[in-house]
Chains A and B, each alone.
Chain A
Amino acid sequence: MTGDRLVTYHPSVNDDPVFKALADPTRRFLLDRLFERDGRTLTELESELEMTRFGVMKHLRVLEDAGLVAARRSGREKLHYLNPVPIRLIHDRWIDKYTERRVSALADLKHELEETA
């Protein structure tokens, strides 16, 4: 096997952890809560979910591993911050590429129709 890139799960070279993290409704819910108000503790986030503390912790861990949440210590507290950079990278890699082609196809069509009109 030469699948060097396929077995590398580091967020720098692989989008998988990001897509996997986003594929869960609880984790998307957590991201939306951080979007509303950034820099929250586990206790604050836990209070918004019908789930054990351990369960929320596990989800936050997946988000952290995917780079979607950045955690910082502030005194005795661990605060969680939304890190949208991986979403931007996915946007550049997976969305821009395809929408640009469609936009340019429409532009070509417009050009062609106007030429023949």
Chain B
Amino acid sequence: MSTMTETTVQVYNVFIKASPKQIWEAITKPEFTSRYFYGSHVESTLEPGAAFRGWSPDREQLWTDGEVLESDPPRKLSYTWRALYDETTAAEEPSRVTWEIELQDGGISKLTVVHDQLEHAPKTAENVAGGWMYILSGLKTLLETGEPLQG
């Protein structure tokens, strides 16, 4: 039996009453990420090969770093991911984050996050497991009510 899949792939999804375009903006614009992604400000031109970074709320510290692998607005965004906010995760190999947005009936979109290639990043895998749940429920709350989860 394969033991590789247990910690190397994580899949999360959430249904949001919002258009794919709104969700895409919420993922790629700092004025949105700062309201549900632990206060972090995303920075990227979104071109393949470009940096995909997340800065601390005061923009002094680089919290996450990576490179855009694929950008297909407003359907799919994939980038490498290194969590620099913690010493143990910062020392690990990059993993990969992929966002997929699918339009459903009734003005609802299905948002899926796949965090994989965690083979050489076990601490990161452990660290992000609760985080994605928090981020996705916060993103849904923000888009559906206009209010972030935390103040």
Contacts and interface: CB of A to CB of B under 8 A. Distances in A.
B50 interface: no
B14 A81 contact: no
Interface in B93-119: 104, 106, 108, 112, 114
Given A12-B15, A12-B108, A72-B114, A38 B5 contact: yes
Interface in A32-61: 37-40, 44
Contact of A39 (B5, B108, B141): B5
A22 interface: no
B15 A89 contact: no
Interface residues on B, range: 20 to 34
Interface in A73-94: 74, 79, 81, 83-89, 92
B14 A10 contact: no
Nearest to A39: B5
B13 A83 contact: yes
A83 B1 contact: no
B13 A37 contact: no
Contacts of A39: 5-6, 9, 11
Contact of A92 (B1, B11, B141): B141
A88 B13 contact: no
Given A74-B5, A79-B5, A13 B10 contact: no
B12 interface: yes
A92 B149 contact: yes
Contacts of B16: 12
B54 to A, nearest CB: 20
Interface string B1-26: 10001110111111111000000000
A8 B104 CA distance: 14
Contacts of A87: 133
A38 B10 contact: yes
B134 interface: yes
A94 B112 CA distance: 24
Contact of B134 (A10, A13, A79, A88): A88
A6 to B, nearest CB: 15
Contacts of B17: 12-13
Most B CB contacts (10 A, CB to CB) among A12, A39, A70, A84 go to A12
Interface of A: 8, 10-13, 37-40, 44, 67, 70, 72, 74, 79, 81, 83-89, 92
Which A-B residue pairs are the 5 nearest by beta carbons?
Answer: A12-B15, A39-B5, A81-B11, A70-B11, A88-B137
